[in-house]
Amino acid sequence: MPLKPFDNKSPQLGNNVYVHESTVVIGDVTLGEDVSIWPLTVIRGDIHSISIGDRTNIQDGSVLHVTHASDFNPGGFPLNIGSDVTVGHKVTLHGCTIGNHCLIGMGSIIMDGATINDRVLVGAGSIVPPGRELESDYLYVGSPVKRVRPINEQEAHFLKYSANNYVRLKDKYLAE
């Protein structure tokens, strides 16, 4: 697996985790149970910590990073991602917090200090500015992101379905 220690910290993996061989996972990174990390993803916990919850999937070409502590930002910004989250292709997550049961659409950018609460859909190509907080149970789209409407019952069900679907797919890859 492409796991790299940095500054005396090594990635920690839960049970049944899949990390594609073209991915790079560096430093202070914790992956929960049944997590899947897909091709060409970079997860760089070199200057702060990254935590990814159970059954979360990070899709192809995504970049996950953090912000160091400094005089400008005394605590820095870790990256915390909850459980049952789907992170679409080519997403950038930088020093933010993502709650449980979320979907971050393809090509989206979530910036430092932003908080995405539980059960949120972020539409493809959206940008969440630094420090912005997105309220639970809504669809957000745009650049910068704007709240569009409450998520409906089918979308709420899809959030759980998507996470479980990637667990099944990951299990097939692990069995090969």
Compute the distance between CA of residue 49 and CA of residue 118 in angstroms, rounded to an integer.
Answer: 21
* CATH number of the domain that residue 132 is part of: 2.160.10.10
**Residue written as token pair 């569009």:** 148
**Residue written as token pair 């908080």:** 115
pTM exceeding 0.95: yes
pLDDT at site 1: 60
Compute the distance between CA of residue 94 and CA of residue 141 in angstroms, rounded to an integer.
Answer: 18
Provide the domain limits for residue 162: 3-175
Report how far apart the first and last C-alpha atoms of the chain are (Å, whole number): 15
Rg of the chain, C-alpha, whole Å: 15
Which residues, given as ranges, of the chain have pLDDT below 50? none
Compute the distance between CA of residue 119 and CA of residue 167 in angstroms, rounded to an integer.
Answer: 18
Are the C-beta atoms of 94 and 111 separated by less than 8 Å? Answer: yes
Q: Count of domains in the chain?
A: 1
Q: Using one digit for the tens of pLDDT, what is the confidence trace for 121-162?
A: 999 999 999 999 999 999 999 999 999 999 999 999 999 999
